[in-house]
Chains A and B, each alone.
Chain A
Amino acid sequence: MNKSISKINIFICCLILAFNYPNTGNYQITKYQANSLLHQITVVDEGDHRYLLFDDYIQTMMKKNRPLEGHFDYIESFHLVNVLQGREGTSCMIGLGGGSAVRTFSDRYKEGKIVVAEIDPIVEMVAKEYFGMPKNPNLEINIIDGRQMFKRKGAPKCDTALIDGYSTSRYGAYIPWHLATKEFFSEVKKTMPEDGIIAYNVIGTIDGKSSLNVQMITKTILENFDYVFAIPIADTFNVVLFGFSGNLNEYTARIENFRNQKNQKYPNLLRLSYLLKKVEISEKTPILSDEWAPIDMPGLMVKIYQ
């Protein structure tokens, strides 16, 4: 009797499991995998999305059939630099990844020029081959360390700078420290006009346990720019910082104008614009410099949960 009851129980359990097993109908196909000097680079298709992974971390996400959609919110929020500046200028980017920012900037700002610094030539090849990089005469990709691009003889003239340079390790993701110091921000600023704007992607949160990096970089940007505002992106654990100088009222007015525009073409950017806020920095927060910036040490790396 007991044995038959237990058999029935097992059968019912199997039946429940069979019907409740989460089957999305999608499966992953690895389209490309290679080791560069810096990462293991993998391109994966899942459902109608394509992903770029550096080691274990997703760097880029896009819709396969509509490459201008499906990207991360932090990429979308980068577009606020042009809203804040009120014009289409030259956007200098550090970190190409799967080229989400390049694709969308290229599509939206026909007059604007894009200059990219990407340290890994395999990443450039993957972006072109698998992520629909546009063939735009206004696009210039340099295989060079990001800081060198701003620092070397022949540095580009930039109106805005978008910094998304990350490295990953077993202990988490980290920003190469030389891309987070006051000297670096000063070098970036030298390539810009008075109303130049910097947007900086930091993995972390505005407050709480993972906020130290965000606070340190905010305070460091403030060494060179008058204001820093932030957009926290909860889904992916990012904070995008915007640094700019000049009359704050002018920038606020441009954001208000953008919010009040009818027939918004980019509703996601509109939603993100409402998240803009100031970062509260404690007095004890240190400023990062070429002399001291240990943000790539294991204790200060931010573990990303994906």
Chain B
Amino acid sequence: MNKYYYLTFLTGFGLLSFEVFGPRLMQPHFGQSPIMWASTISVFLGGMTCGYFLGGKISSKNTKIKIKKITSLVWLSISTLVIFSPEINDFVASVFLEKEPTKWEPLLISFFNFFIPATLMGTAFPTLVELCPSEKTKKGEHTGILLAISTLGSILGVLSLYFWLITTFNTSEIAVFLSVPWLISIAILKTIKT
């Protein structure tokens, strides 16, 4: 099977599992409320919007070899940010907990915690669409297949987080686990000849 399908699946897994892990990460500091969820989801979607745009630009302005290099670097940055997400979250919390709570606080906290990783994660899909060969299929079908595989990965990511990881592992162990799909993706990308 096309190795790019694995990459699409893994990046989908990594993206959504980290997104739903976000509010749980912030809960010890800022509590549990639908506002925290809404803020996290909004920030993720905002980051991904920028990421899709940026990914499209990277794809259109570079050769495939260069795209691969940039993608590997981006994925390495993502895995680092995911591994250290509990520490980043603690730091952001320590700053905000010293101040009076405001209406926009949940959105700001989510922004500082997740906007950069979400933007970087958003670049994955357009670059994969560009890298994945599509001679036999039309553009629409090609993108549809990749999107379907990515969404399947996202489903498995969310389910594994809630039905297995949270009950079994510590928060910091989960953060390490959620960085693994990105690291595996780098390894797979290295094996693909352009």
Contacts and interface: CB of A to CB of B under 8 A. Distances in A.
A119 interface: yes
Contacts of A38: 33-34
Nearest to A290: B28
Contacts of A119: 31, 33
Interface residues of A, number: 25
Contact of A148 (B31, B98, B162, B171): B31
A178 B28 CA distance: 5
A145 B93 CA distance: 14
Nearest to A155: B97
B73 interface: no
A152 to B, nearest CB: 5
B32 interface: yes
Query: Of B27, B34, B98, which is in contact with the most chain A CB atoms at under 10 Å from its CB?
Result: B27
A292 B98 CA distance: 25
B30 interface: yes
Contacts, number: 57
B31 A146 contact: yes
Contacts of B171: 290-292
Interface in A145-195: 145-148, 151-153, 167, 176-178, 181, 183-184
A148 B99 CA distance: 12
A146 to B, nearest CB: 7
Contact of B97 (A153, A176, A299): A153
A144 B105 CA distance: 12
A148 B167 CA distance: 24
Interface in B135-194: 162, 166-167, 169-172
Contacts of B27: 176-178
Contacts of B100: 153
Contacts of A290: 28, 171
Contacts of A291: 170-172
Contacts of B167: 294, 297, 299
A13 interface: no
B65 interface: no
A171 B169 CA distance: 23
A153 B170 contact: no
A37 interface: yes
B69 interface: no
How big is chain B's contact interface, by range?
A: 20 to 34
B101 A144 contact: yes
A181 B24 CA distance: 14
A148 B101 contact: yes
B22 to A, nearest CB: 14
A184 B27 CA distance: 11
Interface string A81-109: 00000000000000000000000000000
A38 B166 CA distance: 23
Given A153-B99, A176-B27, A145 B166 contact: no
Given A148-B101, A297-B166, A167 B32 contact: yes
Given A290-B28, A292-B170, A37 B101 contact: no
B99 A37 contact: no
A116 B191 CA distance: 59
The interface centre, meaning the residue of A38, A148, A290 with most chain B CB atoms within 10 A of its CB, is A290
Interface string B36-49: 00000000000000
Contacts of A153: 97-100
B28 A147 contact: yes
Contacts of B28: 147, 178, 181, 183-184, 290
B35 A37 contact: yes
25 contacts: A37-B33, A37-B34, A144-B101, A145-B33, A147-B28, A147-B29, A148-B29, A148-B97, A151-B29, A152-B101, A153-B98, A153-B99, A167-B32, A178-B27, A183-B28, A184-B28, A289-B170, A291-B170, A291-B171, A291-B172, A292-B169, A292-B170, A294-B166, A297-B166, A297-B167
Q: Which 9 A-B pairs have the closest CB atoms?
A: A145-B31, A291-B170, A294-B167, A290-B28, A178-B27, A178-B28, A176-B32, A37-B34, A291-B171
Interface of A: 37-38, 119, 144-148, 151-153, 167, 176-178, 181, 183-184, 289-292, 294, 297, 299
